[in-house]
């Protein structure tokens, strides 16, 4: 089994397996019953898992509200009122088109939504086209991409919308064929009468548009699914690999001129002077040099110098030739150490005192992290005196349209924003920073601007996951965990995009002179409280976030609060188990709150052969996670013979998303999240020096490469047992991160405390305020 095509398995649910227990199992303990419920390989190792505690685990107190209401629930609720405004059409050729009001950035939501439509309309997936919707302010809160919520939002409405479209087509066919709708059947977009006469959807589309939506339409029950719940390749896969798919920089907008942007020597620094402006303007192909002015109605416009030229090569040569005098930014003199010191000082106090042998205490540091998408920040803007037009990958296109209209002093309806599929986002494109820059360059030059940020500045200046400091204390009594306290101090998360439109964005942005507004603080705390859950019955449990107003350009990141918080908890779980002399798996089985969490753990423990003999320097690690109504567990094996360069060599991952839509898409998301977990835990982090990260490309920012990824990765997709669809995009990070960290500790004997864990290779940083040579090493 190779990482090129990790196997997907469907496993029976433990509740079903319990039905087939042997007769002599009736007197087994709860621990033994769980052991019998897992697969054979685990049964042979169960004797080593140790006995259960004498007492039942203390219930989580207060109860975890995320079990009943989370961030995605709020996004579903705010999206539903405008779901009837979605554009789902059938053309004369019979093809079905869905105009999707979310950003497709590689996560596969276009394919998942296309499968829902194909299922309900009885057409092959190959007959469904999913396009990106332009900014549509009438959708209000229904055009923001984030929170692992897209499939949950559309599963709540899209099947009904598609089923209604099918019913209207059948009603039109009923009139033309003289047959009651109930006697008609549909195969591959063709409506058949009992006598064989037929009409295609394409022929019926015009008449169906005049049919009022029928009442009492119901989507199919899952028992009738033929497409949903299977595996499907991405709708755009062939276009991607053949180069047909168009991203922002591939678009040919008439008159749009290539533009490169150079940013200051410190984050949020300024431009004081350009010493060689005349000489640069005289360079071949250069059209204009623009110092981007201060401004921005919701968030400040990034500052720097842009060069517009006839070609990107000429723009690159000129922008790198600039001799700029940069002004200091608010982080002058700051380093990783100084930032972590401020965070540690701000940490909220723990409630219970340290009780020596009765407590497990730890402190953790997490570096800032770059989203480092393959597609750097970029945008195209065409600004005229009376209108403007934008093209970019955007997670929040409505607020982008509204804020740019304010920046330009134009009516909102005179700004048109086209959403372009993106080559990665992970939260980065919730803000519209490159659009702001391209807009100002176009306004000042009077020409359409095709802006691309260089990889150096994309790594150093673009929005990032905030650095964090965690302090934890678990208190034990009589062999039980009676309390778990986690305190987190993090550089304030910028959430001024709100729910993707002007009223909620403004609520987070005002007053603009305050670095941490009350509204922004409220959003961040809401995100934390509705996303960070605990799967364990650890008695009195408190997790407190303290945002710290350090002026970094931050934004949500795939599991921005969740991955660090839950990784820490999973590390502490292993350390509690060790202190109690318990096996980590047996300990988790006793303390996990919910059956679905135990089920995914049982799946990986069996498939991964937990406890099997390992060579010296190698070790296994395990972790469990729940998030946005989904559950996952991960078992990894690592090679820790070189403690400074630990590598993951094998992984088994189980995921339960409730009702799965696209099995292949689930597999892709899980393996992608695992790749990101390897980076964040072992190798990738930003290193600040005098207010600027030193890393400037994939050579210095060590995101996972093929050589870092294990050859053996097994993905187990748990069966649907009647649960609603859960989230997926962010769910795969935390269990994988915790498992890798725990395996690292077992292999090296070093407690994981400062991330990334591996030593960072030496390199020569690009000079501050400069751009790297375009040749990739």
**Around Cβ 716, how many Cβ atoms within 10 Å?**
25
Long-range contacts of 669-674 (CB under 8 A, 24+ apart): 669/107, 669/108, 669/728, 669/729, 669/732, 670/632, 670/715, 670/732, 671/3, 671/6, 671/713, 671/715, 672/732, 673/558, 673/729, 673/730, 673/731, 673/732, 673/733, 673/736, 674/634, 674/713, 674/732, 674/736
Q: Where are the alpha helices (DSSP H) in 178-284?
A: 201-208, 237-242, 277-281
Encode 185-203 in three state secondary structure.
EEECCEEECCCCCEEEHHH
CA atoms of 178 and 162, how far apart (whole Å): 24
Q: Longest C-alpha distance within the chain, in Å?
A: 90
Token code pair at residue 424:
């990665």
**pLDDT-based confidence at residue 49 (cuts at 50, 70, 90):** very low
The closest of 667, 669, 679, 735 to 1, measured between CA atoms, is 667
Angle of CA points 349, 345, 362, to nearest 5° = 60
**pLDDT-based confidence at residue 37 (cuts at 50, 70, 90):** very low
Determine the 3-state secondary structure of 48 from DSSP.
helix
| Mean pLDDT calculated for residue range 423-444 | 96
**pLDDT-based confidence at residue 774 (cuts at 50, 70, 90):** low
The DSSP output letter for 536 is B
Distances (CA, A) of 233 to 127, 236, 246, 569: 14, 8, 19, 36
CA atoms of 325 and 161, how far apart (whole Å): 57
CA atoms of 46 and 50, how far apart (whole Å): 8
Asked which of 2-11, 435-444, 484-493, 639-648 is least confident by mean pLDDT, the reply is: 2-11
Q: If residue 308 lies in a helix (H) or strand (E), which one and from where to where?
A: strand 305-309
Average pLDDT, the chain: 91
**pLDDT-based confidence at residue 511 (cuts at 50, 70, 90):** confident
Token code pair at residue 175:
């009139």
Residue 470 has pLDDT above 50, yes or no: yes
Residue 15's pLDDT is what?
Answer: 36
Determine the 3-state secondary structure of 294 from DSSP.
coil
**CB–CB of 449/384 below 8 Å?**
no
% of the chain beyond a pLDDT of 90: 88
pTM: 0.91
Residue pLDDT, tens place only, 225-270: 999 999 999 999 999 999 999 999 999 999 999 999 999 999 999 9
Residues near 388 by Cβ (< 8 Å), separated by ≥ 6? 381, 382, 404, 405, 408, 410, 414, 415, 416, 439, 442
Token code pair at residue 334:
């700051």
Residue 34's pLDDT is what?
Answer: 25
CA atoms of 671 and 651, how far apart (whole Å): 10
% of the chain beyond a pLDDT of 70: 92
Determine the 3-state secondary structure of 447 from DSSP.
coil
Residue 510 has pLDDT above 60, yes or no: yes
**Around Cβ 356, how many Cβ atoms within 10 Å?**
7
**CB–CB of 542/351 below 8 Å?**
yes
Asked which of 24-38, 311-325, 362-376, 672-686 is least confident by mean pLDDT, the reply is: 24-38
Residue 21 has pLDDT above 60, yes or no: no
Angle of CA points 438, 442, 445, to nearest 5° = 135
**pLDDT-based confidence at residue 57 (cuts at 50, 70, 90):** confident
Instruction: Please report, in angstroms and rounded to a whole number, the separation of the first and last CA atoms in the chain.
Output: 31
CA atoms of 571 and 319, how far apart (whole Å): 46
Residue 55 has pLDDT above 70, yes or no: no
Asked which of 126-135, 710-719, 767-776 is least confident by mean pLDDT, the reply is: 767-776
Residue 627 has pLDDT above 60, yes or no: yes
Residue pLDDT, tens place only, 78-97: 999 999 999 999 999 999 99
**pLDDT-based confidence at residue 47 (cuts at 50, 70, 90):** very low
**CB–CB of 637/650 below 8 Å?**
yes
**CB–CB of 113/98 below 8 Å?**
yes
Residue 75 has pLDDT above 80, yes or no: yes
Residue 700's pLDDT is what?
Answer: 95
Determine the 3-state secondary structure of 620 from DSSP.
strand
| Mean pLDDT calculated for residue range 110-114 | 97
């Amino acid at each position: 089994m190779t990482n090129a095509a990790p196997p997907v398995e469907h496993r029976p649910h433990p509740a079903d397996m319990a039905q087939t227990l042997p007769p002599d199992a009736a007197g087994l303990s709860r621990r033994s019953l769980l052991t019998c419920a897992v697969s054979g390989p685990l049964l042979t190792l169960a004797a080593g898992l140790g006995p259960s505690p004498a007492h039942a685990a203390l219930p989580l107190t207060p109860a975890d509200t995320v079990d009943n209401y989370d961030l995605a629930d709020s996004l579903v609720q705010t999206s539903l009122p405008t779901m009837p405004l979605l554009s789902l059409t059938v053309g004369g050729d019979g093809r079905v088109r869905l105009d999707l009001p979310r950003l497709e950035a590689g996560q596969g939501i276009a394919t998942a939504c296309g499968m829902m439509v194909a299922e309900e309309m009885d057409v092959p997936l190959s007959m469904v086209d999913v396009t990106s919707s332009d900014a549509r302010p009438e959708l209000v809160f229904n055009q923001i991409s984030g929170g692992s919520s897209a499939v949950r939002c559309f599963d709540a409405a899209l099947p009904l919308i598609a089923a209604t479209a099918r019913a209207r087509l059948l009603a039109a066919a009923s009139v033309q064929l003289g047959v009651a709708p109930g006697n008609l059947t549909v195969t591959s977009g063709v409506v058949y009468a009992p006598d064989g006469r037929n009409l295609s959807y394409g022929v019926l589309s015009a008449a169906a548009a005049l049919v009022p939506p029928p009442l009492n339409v119901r989507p199919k029950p899952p028992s009738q699914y033929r497409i949903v719940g299977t595996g499907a390749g991405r709708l755009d896969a062939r276009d991607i690999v053949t180069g047909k798919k168009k991203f922002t920089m591939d678009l040919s907008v008439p008159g749009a001129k290539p533009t490169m942007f150079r940013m200051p020597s410190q984050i949020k620094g300024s431009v004081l002077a350009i010493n060689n402006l005349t000489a640069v303007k005289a360079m071949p192909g250069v059209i204009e040099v623009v110092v981007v002015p201060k401004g921005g109605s919701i968030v400040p416009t990034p500052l720097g110098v842009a060069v517009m030229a006839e070609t990107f090569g000429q723009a690159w040569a000129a922008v790198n030739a600039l001799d700029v005098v940069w002004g200091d930014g608010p982080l002058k003199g700051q380093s990783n150490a100084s930032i972590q010191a401020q965070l540690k000082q701000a940490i909220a106090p723990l409630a219970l005192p340290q009780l020596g042998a009765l407590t497990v205490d730890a402190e953790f540091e997490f570096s800032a992290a770059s989203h480092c998408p393959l597609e750097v920040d970029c945008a195209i803007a065409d600004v005229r005196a009376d209108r403007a037009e934008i093209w970019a990958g955007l997670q929040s296109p409505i607020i982008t349209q509204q804020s740019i209209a304010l920046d330009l002093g134009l009516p909102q309806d005179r700004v048109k924003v086209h959403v372009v599929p993106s080559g990665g986002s992970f939260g980065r494109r919730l803000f519209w920073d490159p659009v702001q820059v391209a807009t100002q360059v176009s306004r000042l030059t009077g020409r359409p601007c095709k802006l691309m940020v260089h990889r150096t500045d994309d790594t150093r200046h673009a929005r990032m996951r905030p650095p964090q400091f965690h302090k934890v204390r678990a208190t034990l009594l009589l062999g039980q965990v009676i309390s778990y306290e986690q305190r987190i101090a993090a550089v304030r998360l910028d959430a001024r995009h709100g729910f993707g439109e002007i009223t909620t964005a403004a609520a987070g942005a005002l007053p603009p002179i305050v670095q941490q507004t009350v509204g922004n603080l409220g959003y961040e705390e809401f995100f934390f409280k509705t996303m960070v859950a605990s799967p364990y019955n650890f008695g009195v449990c408190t997790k407190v976030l303290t945002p710290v107003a350090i002026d970094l350009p931050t934004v949500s990141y795939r599991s921005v609060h969740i991955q660090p918080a839950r990784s820490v908890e999973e590390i502490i779980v292993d350390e509690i188990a060790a202190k109690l002399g318990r096996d980590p798996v047996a300990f988790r089985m006793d303390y996990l709150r919910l059956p679905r969490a135990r089920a995914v753990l049982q799946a990986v423990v069996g498939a991964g052969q937990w406890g099997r003999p390992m060579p010296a320097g190698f070790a296994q690690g395990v972790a469990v996670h729940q998030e946005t109504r989904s559950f996952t567990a991960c078992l990894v094996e690592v090679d820790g013979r070189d403690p400074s360069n630990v590598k993951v060599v094998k992984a088994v991952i189980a995921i339960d998303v409730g009702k799965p839509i696209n099995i292949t898409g689930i597999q892709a998301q899980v393996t992608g999240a695992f790749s990101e977990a390897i980076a964040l835990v072992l190798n990738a982090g930003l290193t600040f020096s005098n207010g600027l990260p030193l890393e400037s490309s994939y050579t210095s920012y060590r995101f996972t490469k093929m050589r870092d990824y294990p050859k053996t990765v097994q993905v187990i997709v748990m069966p649907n047992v009647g649960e609603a669809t859960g989230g997926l995009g962010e769910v795969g990070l935390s269990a994988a991160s915790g498992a890798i960290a725990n395996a690292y500790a077992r292999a090296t004997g070093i407690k994981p405390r400062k991330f990334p864990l591996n030593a960072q290779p030496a390199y020569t940083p690009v000079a501050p305020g400069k751009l790297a040579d375009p040749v990739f090493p």
